[in-house]
Amino acid sequence: MSPPLTTSELATLSKGNCPACKKRGFVIGPQGGKSINIECANVDCRARFNVAFYSGAAMMGHVLPMGEPWPSDPRPAQDRLR
């Protein structure tokens, strides 16, 4: 597992922005318990995070490794793993 997100990165997520590219917007992925997987909606970034939110604020989380494409990936199948 990757190291936990910093306080600054959690604050960025709480504002709806990606800590990696600073653009706004996420695609919601699998969720369970108190955490949710989210993926940056910026097609050029697509950073993934596992985050626990409380009252709209990101409380803890970490970066997820890039692996299989999520169903929301708009790129053609042959370009997804590049």
Q: What does pTM read for this prediction?
A: 0.78
Q: Are 6 and 63 in contact (CB under 8 A)?
A: no
Calpha distance 18→12 (Å, rounded): 7
CB 81 within 8 A of CB 70: no
Alpha helices in the chain (DSSP H): 7-14
Residues 6+ apart with CB under 8 A from 9: 19, 61
- Predicted confidence (pLDDT) per residue in 45-81, tens digit: 989 999 999 998 999 999 988 766 666 666 665 565 5
